[in-house]
């Protein structure tokens, strides 16, 4: 099952076999579904929260709390058609609330380090190709950093596979606003890069 392929599973439809046990007995259907979601989405959720609050340790706490809320929601007998979108929405709201409570001002996004994302070129490229790839990578990072915060959020969520409707629900905006924001972001990236991306 991929991160984009997580499906809601009614509690009574899950088959809990001997492989799904803990010391005190069988795991609940909610625990199994949350465990699957956690394995598939924790990196994406945590990465998105870091883009909001900039502190990895806080992002980790918020991410864990979001999964606890998912468990509580499912353990109460509620079903979700789209746990991925639900988790992004809850995480987004929790991160925004956390920043408001702490009085954290938004700081400019730090430049992305090349090592963090690995080499973009093929193994052992010639020196000229390495220089071109490095320049392209620098232009892309600069272009992304020059987008508005709202545009970066929409792009991040879209890159994580969320549909326009899901992005709209996560950010509490209209679908038409998501479409417009993404179109402007792409156009801005295109202009900044002179069409070389």
Residue 42 token pair: 């924790």
pLDDT tens digits along 49-105: 888 887 888 889 999 999 999 999 988 888 888 889 999 999 999 999 988 887 754
Examine domains 3-102 and 114-193 and report if their fold is the same.
no
Question: What does the domain layout of the chain look like in residue ranges?
Answer: 3-102, 114-193
End-to-end CA distance of the chain: 31
Percent of the chain exceeding pLDDT 90 equals 20
Integer Cα distance of 149 and 35 in angstroms: 31
Q: What pTM does this model have?
A: 0.59
CATH 3.40.1390.30 fits 114-193, yes or no: no
Selecting from 3.40.50.2300, 3.30.360.10, 3.40.50.10440, 1.10.1740.10, what CATH number does the domain 3-102 have? 1.10.1740.10
Per-chain mean pLDDT for the chain: 75
């Amino acid at each position: 099952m991929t991160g984009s392929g997580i499906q809601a599973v009614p509690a009574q439809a899950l088959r809990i076999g001997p492989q799904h046990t803990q010391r005190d007995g069988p795991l609940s259907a909610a625990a199994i579904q949350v465990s699957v979601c956690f394995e598939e989405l924790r990196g994406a959720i945590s990465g998105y929260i870091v883009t909001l609050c900039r502190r990895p340790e806080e992002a980790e706490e918020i991410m864990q709390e979001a999964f606890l809320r998912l468990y509580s929601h499912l353990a109460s007998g509620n079903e979700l058609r789209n746990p991925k979108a639900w988790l992004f929405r809850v995480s987004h709201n929790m991160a925004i609330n956390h920043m408001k409570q702490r009085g954290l001002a938004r700081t400019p996004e730090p430049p992305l380090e090349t090592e963090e994302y690995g080499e973009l070129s093929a193994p052992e490229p010639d020196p000229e190709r390495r220089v071109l790839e490095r320049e392209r990578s620098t232009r892309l990072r600069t272009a992304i950093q020059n987008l508005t915060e709202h545009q970066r959020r929409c792009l991040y969520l879209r890159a994580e596979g969320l549909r326009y409707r899901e992005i709209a629900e996560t950010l509490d905006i209209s679908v038409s606003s998501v479409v417009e924001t993404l179109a402007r972001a792409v156009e801005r990236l295109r202009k900044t890069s002179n069409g070389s991306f």
